[in-house]
Structure 1
Amino acid sequence: MKKKILLPTDFSKNAWNAIQYAIELYKNETCDFYILNAFNATGYALESMMVPEPGEKLYEEAKEKSEQGLGKILQRLSFRDESPNHKFFMVSQFNNLLDAIKDIVDKEDIQMIIMGTKGKTAAQDVVFGSNTVMVMEKSRNCPVMAIPEEASYKDLEEIVFPTDYKMNFKRRELQDIVEAAKMSDAAIRILHASNGDPLDEEQENNKKLLGEIFDGLPHTFHTVTNVDPQSAVRCFVESRESDMITFFNRKHSFFGSVFSRPMVKSLGRYSKVPVLALHDLRN
């Protein structure tokens, strides 16, 4: 079945790296890639209610710059030994990034957003740029994969899935993890950060349910005791050289808002591990 993937770009090196990663990850799949640049016309005072219209100088200059940038990406893609199952669509839209993404996700029925973690102006000590965090938090109806600046593609061997076992997952909610594992013959490592207390009956049932959902895929259960969830994930991933972290971005969970600044920094300033944020469909 054809996959529709959105690749936002600000024409930075990091954004290009994310595009290359996405192409490699889905190299054996039939995909339509939508490469999106959201542009705006700088020069208008923020307090002004005036919005530049098509035909106005600032608008047309910004639009031309956006389209030229997308043209260069298309040209670079043409030099690759590309899969015949991949198609590319360039989208230039006058909008802010989040609204442009929501618009394309809705119009084209996008199934995955893959983007770099830093833009051109990212501070050196911030692993995930503010745009990436915003998209992960606000784009609630589409999974988002963040590709760190230093990440280079290699076949996935191990996907880490942190959980507190307090959520009874539905099979469809975990479909993206299952799909990623199947594409790469990767193993799923289910990680629980425990405070030392045994699992209660509900947690045991949810753990069993996860085992059923991942049945047929290589998967193992792991527990780290008396370590906060953020540190548990970081240590586990670093010690095993895992290839991806995936989790549910829930507002009210033990794991918390994983993309809070402290968590982002604890994942490592120069993290090389892509992160896949899934969304609780019941939120």
Structure 2
Amino acid sequence: MRTVLIPTDFSANAMNAIEYALNLYKNERTDFYILHAYADEAYETFDKENGTLSFNEHTAAIEKNVDASLNELIGTVTNSRRNPKHSFKSLIAFESLVDAVNDFVDKRNIDLVIMGTQGKTGNKKITFGSYTVQVFKYVRCPVLAIPGDYVFQQPKKILFPTDYMMPYKRRELKLLNTMAADFKSEIYCLYISDFETLSNRQVDNKRFLQEELSKAYLFFETTPEGNKAETILENIAQKNIDLLVMINARYSFLESLLYQSTVDQIALHPKIPFLVMQNLPR
């Protein structure tokens, strides 16, 4: 049984993420939790000059509207995509998105978070909205981000840039391994370095990767050091990649992208689904 959490702000991008999730797990028994976190919305829309509603009344009104919207959304999805293997539950949280996602990841033992790359107010000139970047940074669970205009394609070709330096999580590799088995996927492990010889630590981690991704067609490639973001994007284009996978860990390339860049300056702009696996405590 798979457990998937899908945050929604009821935007077209969020709906597209739901569609992707339904296709990705079409043949697998899956519990889908559709979440709306509304703390930021409540604070932003509360008019302190307006004495007609107290803050508690204001939040109660928002929660009522959210509950109705979630029920309508789930009704639309279940009526249009009847699948006996899928179940849906709505979740409402008066929290920030990151806090709400982390709380429900723990409470519901979530395997994967799937969300859009942009929200209602998304800037089309940037790849990842601020909420998506925050989730990438701080959520203790794999996160799969779906571009708003992406039409589902089976993840037949997966690019996995790695330096083999950090230990991988068995549970997260199992998630990827199962996906690869379901779609008979090729996984290209890309080592970006001027040095082909691996340290003992890297050799051990590479061996663990081979063992845990046993159901995938694995390819190991090395490419010279350079602009890593450009190298990754070039490989996506050259290999017609369907899914990009990276690991968020201390001192990793992805961490440097997320922490040292503002949202509109992030150098990596994939136009395909992007799975971020976490090397964070859970």
Q: TM-score range by the shorter chain?
A: 0.7 to 0.9
Aligned residue for 2:80, secondary structure, equals coil
1:33-182 mapped onto 2 (5 Å cutoff): 33-40=32-39, 41=42, 42-44=45-47, 52-53=55-56, 56=57, 58-140=58-140, 142-169=141-168, 171-182=170-181
Aligned residue for 2:272, secondary structure, equals coil
- AA of the residue aligned to 1:18: A
Q: Per-residue CA shift, 1:59-115, capped at 9, x if unaligned?
A: 232112212221221232133232101000011222221222122222212111100
Unaligned runs of 5+ in 2: 49-53
C-alpha deviation, 1:173, in angstroms: 4.3
Q: 1:197 pairs with 195, 202, 220, which one?
A: 195
C-alpha deviation, 1:170, in angstroms: 5.1
Instruction: Pick closer, same or farther for the CA change 1:233–1:174 going to 2, 3 Å.
Output: same
C-alpha deviation, 1:136, in angstroms: 1.3
Unaligned runs of 5+ in 1: 46-50
Identity %: 35
- Residue 219 of structure 1 corresponds to 218
- Residue 26 of structure 1 corresponds to 25
- AA of the residue aligned to 2:114: I
Q: Tell me which stretches of 4 or more aligned residues in structure 1 moved more than 6 Å.
A: none
Contact 2:130 2:263 in 1 (8 A): no
C-alpha deviation, 1:29, in angstroms: 0.6
Aligned residue for 1:35, secondary structure, equals strand
Distance 1:22 1:264 in 2: 28
Contact 1:249 1:279 in 2 (8 A): yes
C-alpha deviation, 1:263, in angstroms: 9.6
Output the TM-score relative to the length of structure 1: 0.87
Structure with the larger helix share: 2
Instruction: Pick closer, same or farther for the CA change 1:258–1:9 going to 2, 3 Å.
Output: same
- Residue 51 of structure 2 corresponds to none
C-alpha deviation, 1:193, in angstroms: 1.0
Distance 2:263 2:102 in 1: 27
1:227-246 mapped onto 2 (5 Å cutoff): 227-246=226-245
Aligned residue for 1:134, secondary structure, equals helix
Distance 1:247 1:125 in 2: 23
Distance 1:263 1:231 in 2: 16
Instruction: Pick closer, same or farther for the CA change 1:87–1:14 going to 2, 3 Å.
Output: same
Output the TM-score relative to the length of structure 2: 0.87
Distance 2:22 2:232 in 1: 27
- AA of the residue aligned to 2:143: V
Q: CA RMSD in A?
A: 2.4
Contact 1:193 1:228 in 2 (8 A): no
C-alpha deviation, 1:43, in angstroms: 1.2
Contact 1:249 1:258 in 2 (8 A): no
Structure 1, 258-267 or 214-223: larger mean CA deviation:
258-267
Distance 1:258 1:82 in 2: 40
Instruction: Pick closer, same or farther for the CA change 1:263–1:177 going to 2, 3 Å.
Output: farther
- Residue 14 of structure 2 corresponds to 15
